[in-house]
Amino acid sequence: MPSAPETRYSAAENSGDVSSRLDSGGPRAPEQPEEAAGRKQRLRRGRCRARSEAALHTLRRSRRVKANDRERNRMHHLNAALDELRGVLPTFPEDTKLTKIETLRFAHNYIWALSETLRLAEQRPRKAPPPPRDLLLPRPGSRSPAGPPSPGSDAGSWLSAASPSLSACTSDPSSPATSEDYGYGPREPLFACHGLPGELLRSGPCCARYPPL
DNA sequence: TAGGCCATCTGGTCCT
DNA sequence: AGGACCAGATGGCCTA
């Protein structure tokens, strides 16, 4: 896609075209030696200019190609890091591939849930934590046995029906609580959070992504 | 077929 | 000057 600046540059390039200067047409008076020398000089200058502009174009093109290459590489590295992150996030089935945005939001929640687990463990050192439960959240067409409601289609209802501890979702101003806050659509992730209290995961900062068990 | 997700290209901006 | 980072545009692929 030709960009505007490049187009403008091409136009400027054409305005300096040698041939357009040469064929002015019409009968001419016999050329004086000085005039001939000047003409040759202009011609040389024009050719030089055209050559240097072509070289400039080539240079710009090669810089762009290199920049594209770097950008592609950068995005590949970013995606590799995202893949590593996916690798440490528990999903079910295991080969479920979260989208980029799902990965980031789930990671956010996961970290939050782990932090909450630690905090609660410190608050109640003598009380044993609830037994680990798996959170199975289905993608469309892939319902877990429990058949939880869809957070996308009915996020509000399951939020309101959830336990009072869900207030954690909205009490933190830095933690958007609803799917609307994220501009999120009906897509549903499929997560299995092994060893985490389901309550914590459901009430995480990104709780709109997690329906009740 | 519309919408979501993604990779890639591109130009602009900032930093070293 | 060159590289990193960013956001917008575009087109391809996939799914409901």
pLDDT per residue as tens digits for the range A176-201: 333 333 333 333 333 444 444 444 44
pLDDT per residue as tens digits for the range A99-134: 999 999 999 999 999 999 999 999 876 655 554 443
pLDDT at residue A208, rounded to an integer: 35
Determine the distance between A67 (CA) and C6 (C1') in angstroms.
14
CA distance A93 to A181: 28
pLDDT at residue A205, rounded to an integer: 54
pLDDT at residue A36, rounded to an integer: 78
Q: Which residues pair with A196 in a beta bridge?
A: A133
Which parts of chain A register pLDDT below 70?
Answer: 1-32, 125-213
One-letter amino acid of A133: R
Strand C nucleotides, any atom under 7 Å to a protein CB: 2-7, 9-10, 15-16
Q: Would you say the C-beta of A143 is within 7 Å of strand C?
A: no
pLDDT at residue A58, rounded to an integer: 84
CB A192 within 8 A of CB A136: yes
Interhelix angle A33-88/A100-123, nearest 10 degrees? 40
pLDDT at residue A103, rounded to an integer: 93
pLDDT at residue A125, rounded to an integer: 65
**Nearest protein residue to the C1' atom of C16, measured from CA:** A140
Q: Which two tokens stand for residue A40?
A: 């040759």
CA distance A173 to A126: 32
pLDDT at residue A115, rounded to an integer: 95
Determine the distance between A66 (CA) and C1 (C1') in angstroms.
14
pLDDT at residue A44, rounded to an integer: 77
Cis peptide bond upstream of A27, omega within 30: no
Determine the distance between A58 (CA) and B3 (C1') in angstroms.
40
pLDDT at residue A11, rounded to an integer: 26
Q: Which two tokens stand for residue A167?
A: 């207030």
* Strand B surroundings (CB within 7 A): A 1-3, 5-6, 64-65, 67-69, 71-72, 75-76, 79, 99-101, 185, 187
pLDDT at residue A104, rounded to an integer: 93
